[in-house]
């Protein structure tokens, strides 16, 4: 059986990659994808800890399903924003979207 620590390391790597992408990518679609990465890193953690701590119950797995549902909703909202952005500016570079400044 694969020990839990491996799953945690994988999850941490995935999360770090997602975070890096989130902070450094300029394309809005790519940023959304990075967010998905980070959510999925969390899912791996949920499942891995559920297997390691309470193998008889499926609590972690149910949480992961919920997270996926929320991620789908989040992606729908995010893509809607990106589409609105594109309609306005014909570009989806987030560096240029700085209207919330002082």
Question: Are 67 and 42 spatial neighbours (Cβ–Cβ below 8 Å)?
Answer: yes
Q: Is 94 in the site for another protein (CB under 8 A)?
A: yes
63-76 in b/e form (b: 16+ CB < 10 A) is bbeebeeebeeeee
Q: Is 99 in the site for another protein (CB under 8 A)?
A: yes
Q: Which of residues 71-90 bind another protein (CB under 8 A)?
A: none
Q: Is 1 in the site for another protein (CB under 8 A)?
A: no
Q: Is 98 in the site for another protein (CB under 8 A)?
A: yes
The DSSP code sequence of 51-62 is HHH-TT--HHHH
Task: Give the binding range for another protein (CB under 8 A) out of 6-14, 22-30, 71-79, 83-91.
Answer: 22-30
């Amino acid at each position: 059986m694969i020990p839990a620590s491996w799953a945690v390391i994988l999850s941490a790597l995935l999360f770090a990659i997602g975070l890096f992408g989130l902070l450094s990518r300029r394309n809005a679609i790519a940023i959304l994808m990075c967010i998905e990465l980070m959510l999925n890193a969390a899912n791996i953690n949920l499942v891995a800890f559920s297997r390691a701590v309470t193998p008889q119950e499926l609590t972690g797995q149910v949480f992961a399903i919920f997270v996926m549902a929320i991620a789908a909703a989040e992606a729908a909202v995010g893509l809607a924003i990106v589409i609105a952005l594109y309609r306005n500016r014909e570009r989806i570079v987030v560096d240029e979207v700085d209207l919330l400044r002082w």
